[in-house]
Amino acid sequence: MIAAGSAEAALAFIEIGAVVLALAILSRFASRLGISAVPLYLLAGLAVGEGGIAQLDVTEDFISLAAEIGVLLLLLALGLEYDQDELRHGLKTGTRPGLVDMVANAIPGVAVGLLLGWSLLASILLGGVTWISSSGIVSKVLFDLDRLGNRETPSVLNVLVIEDLAMAVYLPIVAALVVGGSAQETTVSVVVAVTAVIVILVLALRFGDKLSGMLAGGTDESLLLAVFGLTLLVAGLAQRIEVSGAIGAFLVGLALSGSVGERSMELISPLRDLFAATFFLFFSFQIDPSDLIPMIPAAIGLGIVSIGGKLVTGWYAAGRAGVAARGRVRAGTVLIARGEFSIVIAALGSSLVDGPDLEALAAAYVLFLAIVGPIAARYADSIPIPARFMAKRPVPATT
């Protein structure tokens, strides 16, 4: 028995080690190309997953758990990106750009889902996939292109804040709808989920400083263990009341501020990168490439529409801040990339009748825009702008 168990463990170690080393090579290759590694992770999952060219028989339960932790750490890190002042400022000034963003990007996704004959719920999930920019890719592009100090960048970050806060409401609602049940049960689940998110958000804003103060002392080791444990605990409790665990992790990140937030980001980043890579790999690992191929035309067509939608969002958001036409185009192009949130949303619908098609379309869509987005941002200053737009100076918003 022991020998058999040791042999199985050895095989699992070899397979998992080989996969992680392959991800490391892909990450380095993506860095040299100047693009996000997310598309390459997705392609790797397709290659070694169901119907792939070199299918691996890895321990699915372990990979699945690691992937779920990856989602939590992605959202924790996203919450750590914002301090409470940025959050309050985003709520005050980002409502109109947020509405423009939703209309320009979510509605086309819902419409395409309905045109494909999907259920209304699957179509709403596709609308979420097309709505949300990848905060991770956008942040990396801004850093790589040295645009953090650009005048349009605060408008870009403001859009990301509003999107992330919108997800704090959207995800628990659609998660409750996916679980289903009678109309009364679904209504109760939605009300409980939204109420829980609001309560946690208020607690994070009001008592976040106290939590940060409690964690401020001690070594890096103790801080890492405390933040990691707290994230898993809150996420688990959130899921017990049918609220997305990812949103619980996001709100933990929001609650940590100041030096504790900065130290936590530094300590969590390596874990986030490891488990997030596993998440992207596992997502596409479950998709048969033969299901993906028919979705490529729809993904490219929807991607082109989405590029226009983010250009509209960036143009409007930066224009309200008094940014000139060239900066408004830069703001739009940097928002094009989709990534982690889009995949999280698609994964929610895996149990639906249209779930396999939704996951396949989302994978192809993210692959397309995660590559095109950073390239468009890099060459944004070369995009021609009609003279009539160049001549008009935007009027700064008064509110």
Which stretch, 50-59, 91-100, 113-122, has highest mean pLDDT? 113-122
Q: How far is CA 257 from CA 84, 204, 249, 336, 384, in A?
A: 8, 10, 14, 29, 41
Taking CA atoms, 270 is separated from 59, 130, 277, 293, in Å, by: 23, 28, 11, 34
Distance in angstroms (rounded) separating the CA atoms of residues 269 and 170: 26
The whole-angstrom separation of Cα 218 and Cα 255 is: 19
User: At a CB cut-off of 8 Å and minimum separation 6, what does 261 contact?
Assistant: 80, 83, 212, 253
Quote the distance between the C-alpha of residue 1 and its chain's center: 43
Burial of 14 (0-12, 13-18, 19+ CB in 10 A): exposed
- 3-state SS of 195-262 is HHHHHHHHHHHHHHHHHHHHHHCCCHHHHHHHHHHHHHHHHHHHHHCCCCHHHHHHHHHHHCCHHHHH
Longest dimension (CA), the chain: 78
Q: Distance (Å, rounded) from C-alpha 115 to C-alpha 58?
A: 37
Taking the domains of the chain in order of start, what are their residue ranges?
A: 2-391
Mean pLDDT over 231-244 rounds to 79
Q: How confident is the model at residue 393 (pLDDT cuts 50, 70, 90)?
A: low
Look at residue 273 in the predicted model and tell me its pLDDT: 84
List, in sequence order, every beta strand (DSSP E) within 30-120.
none
Number of separate helices (H) and strands (E) present in the chain: 18, 0
Res. 93: pLDDT tops 70: yes
pTM for the model: 0.76
When pLDDT is averaged across residues 194-207 and rounded to a whole number, the result is 75
Q: Is 3.40.50.2300 the CATH number for 2-391?
A: no
